[in-house]
Amino acid sequence: MESIFVINRFESDCNVKELYDDVYAQELYCTNVLDIPDEKIYGTEMIDKGLLEIILSDVDQHEIYEDWYINLSRMST
């Protein structure tokens, strides 16, 4: 299952400008701050007005009940 999330709220110490320029920084934010397993991240992109789009792939049905997925769902617009 593929899922797309758009994040508009970032941790206070996050340098959002750095995320605009660096896909690696976006993925680090996803794994380190949002606790998304690296193997689930298909891609990331900063889009309009400071929004981080996260595309996940290979999400199993049981994973939608895990903390990282529930928190990601809550944070998305």
Structure confidence at residue 2 as a pLDDT band (50, 70, 90): confident
Residue 47 backbone phi and psi in degrees, to 5: -120, -175
Q: What is the span of the domain harbouring residue 44?
A: 3-75
Of 9, 12, 19, 2, give the one whose Cα is nearest residue 57.
2
Q: What is the pLDDT of residues 10-60, one digit of tens each?
A: 887 788 888 888 999 999 999 999 999 999 999 999 997 789 999 999 999
When divided into structural domains, the chain yields a total of 1
Tell me the whole-structure pTM to 2 decimals.
0.89
DSSP 21-44: H-HHHHHHIIIIIS---GGGEEEE
- Report the number of secondary-structure helices (H) and strands (E) in the chain: 3, 3
